[in-house]
Amino acid sequence: MLSAARRARLVRWAREVDGFVIEDDYDAEFRYDHHPVAVMQGMDPSRVFLLGSVSKTLSPALGLGWLVAPVAMTPVLRAANLVAAAPPVLDQLALATFIDRGWYDAHLRAARRRFRSRRDLLVRTLGAQVPEGRVAGTAAGLHILLHLPDGTDTRGAVQAAAAAGLRLADLDDYRAHRSAQPALVLGYGNISDTEIPPAVALLREVLRSPTSSPPTRAGQLSHDDR
């Protein structure tokens, strides 16, 4: 996330070069420890495109999202997107009603409470069972990072965990180059609270013996946070 000063510089740059900024308001709905950060689009609606969707808050199956574009660019966007398939009208109307009647806000408040509680449970359980790991990225979203001691074979751990039914992701899969700092991506958006303790226990076993035979299946910590 960019600091306020860097956000201001970016908007100023767009004005100076007669350019545009495309802003993906990622994880804006699920911020737990601080108030959501205001979008850059509000700083200069004529220079910033704002993207968003309900893939995390409702379901990716809906295929509903939005683009808040500078008014001057609206005709260009419409002309360039004549053959694009639009989401079903009934789905769009249902979402509009959901928002207009305040149900979407109520849903988000309940979801934030639920996911914040689940995040706290996951962090506590990792602290107790995987003390060698350092947790990061807890302020927002539906996944966290677990940084591990140097030399940890994260790719081997992911493979061993998968063989046991525990889905993890190696942070190197999201990097342009492999890093000397090993870390795992742990998702908690698609797991129940009761599954977290056995899943973390399985993760602990995998990390302590990643090349041994996989332990008994015990839940999953998927990085699929939908």
- Whether residue 41 is contained in a domain is answered as yes
Last residue of a domain, one of 36, 66, 101: 101
Average pLDDT over residues 159-178: 88
pLDDT, greater one: 178 or 199: 199
Could you tell me if 139 and 31 are in contact, meaning their C-beta atoms sit under 8 angstroms apart? Answer: yes
- Whether residue 217 is contained in a domain is answered as no
Question: So what's the pLDDT on residue 32?
Answer: 86
Same domain for 164 and 122: yes
- Whether residue 22 is contained in a domain is answered as yes
3-state secondary structure 100-138: HCCHHHHHHHHHHHHHHHHHHHHHHHHHHHCCCCEEECC
Classify residue 149 as exposed, middle or buried by CB count within 10 Å of its CB (0-12, 13-18, 19+). Answer: exposed
CATH of the domain at 37: 3.40.640.10
pLDDT at 218 over 90: no
Question: So what's the pLDDT on residue 216?
Answer: 46
Tens of pLDDT along 119-138? 999 999 999 999 999 999 99
- Whether residue 215 is contained in a domain is answered as no
Question: So what's the pLDDT on residue 31?
Answer: 85
Tens of pLDDT along 61-120? 888 988 899 999 988 888 886 666 778 899 999 999 999 999 999 999 999 999 999 999
Tens of pLDDT along 20-76? 999 987 777 888 877 767 788 989 999 999 998 998 899 888 889 888 999 999 888
65-68 and 134-136 beta bridge pairing: unpaired
Same domain for 95 and 113: no
Same domain for 132 and 72: no
Question: So what's the pLDDT on residue 194?
Answer: 94
Question: So what's the pLDDT on residue 211?
Answer: 55
pLDDT band, very low/low/confident/very high, at 151 (cuts 50, 70, 90): confident
pLDDT at 193 over 70: yes
Last residue of a domain, one of 63, 84, 101: 101
Q: Count of domains in the chain? A: 2
CA distance linking residue 189 with residue 27, whole number of Å: 12
pLDDT band, very low/low/confident/very high, at 221 (cuts 50, 70, 90): low
Same domain for 151 and 118: yes
Average of per-residue pLDDT values in the chain: 86
CA distance linking residue 166 with residue 221, whole number of Å: 6
- Whether residue 221 is contained in a domain is answered as no
Which domain does 50 fall in, by range? 4-101
pTM: predicted TM-score of the whole model, two decimal places? 0.78
Same domain for 197 and 153: yes
DSSP helix/strand/coil, 76: helix
Could you tell me if 165 and 143 are in contact, meaning their C-beta atoms sit under 8 angstroms apart? Answer: no
Question: So what's the pLDDT on residue 2?
Answer: 75
Same domain for 120 and 203: yes
